[in-house]
Amino acid sequence: MKLLLLGAGKTGSLVGEVARERGHDVETLRSADNPNTSALTADRLAPFDCVVDFTTPQCVLAHIRACTEAGKSMVVGTTGWHSEMAGIRKLVEQHGTGFLYGSNFSVGVNLFFDLVRDAVPAMQQGYAARIYERHHTQKKDAPSGTAAAMQAMLQEKTGAEVEITSFREGDVVGMHELVLDSHNDTIYLCHDAKSRRSFAEGALRGAEWVVGKKGFFEFKDVWREMK
């Protein structure tokens, strides 16, 4: 598989490393070489089977539009664009491409999401919920996409909007915690990432999975199908 990787940050670079380990041909396009999405032309994109985006919220929408209009499958790990999801879904469907996105591509985090959903009965029994997330100081968005996904899961089931507290400190890879508190006790659910490699492996498995498919997919719904 020939991949075009957009973004050469910590996670993006690791995606490239994992892809090469798995025998794929990878080319990286840095932001300096792609001002205003000028490098993402149909001719430039033609040789690639899939485009993987780990860039920033400021440019990801333009990347998605350019790649989708060129008929390219995409995996998007960048967050901060989900308010535009309806329009992007329509664009993907119009062009018949495969599109996979996720607030977090770690299998461990997606298992953690299952535990978060299982915590809903505690809220229905009077426990007060709060979400805490910690990341490195270079992270562009706050709250994280993972924390926002946790909040949305709980709100969908209970109608309550759970408060998120974000911390940016040192080189923290990513820690997410759901705290459920009552007068009698406190329940803690926590996922603490030791390495960014789990994110990179998930994104690469997603790219292998989405090539050849048509549709708009979220990683949390399909990761169990991936090899």
Among all residues, which ones are annotated catalytic? Answer: 135, 139
Residue with tokens 């973004």: 7
Do the strands 50-53 and 73-76 form a parallel or antiparallel pair, or are they unpaired? parallel
Q: Report how far residue 149's alpha carbon sits from residue 48's, in angstroms, rounded to the nearest whole number.
A: 30
Q: Which residues of 134-164 are buried (b: 16+ CB within 10 A; e: fewer)?
A: bbeeebebebbbbbbbbbebbeeebeeebeb
Task: Give me the residues paired with residue 191 across strands.
Answer: 176
> Which tokens is 80 given?
């901060």
> CB-hemisphere CA count at 13 Å for 119?
26
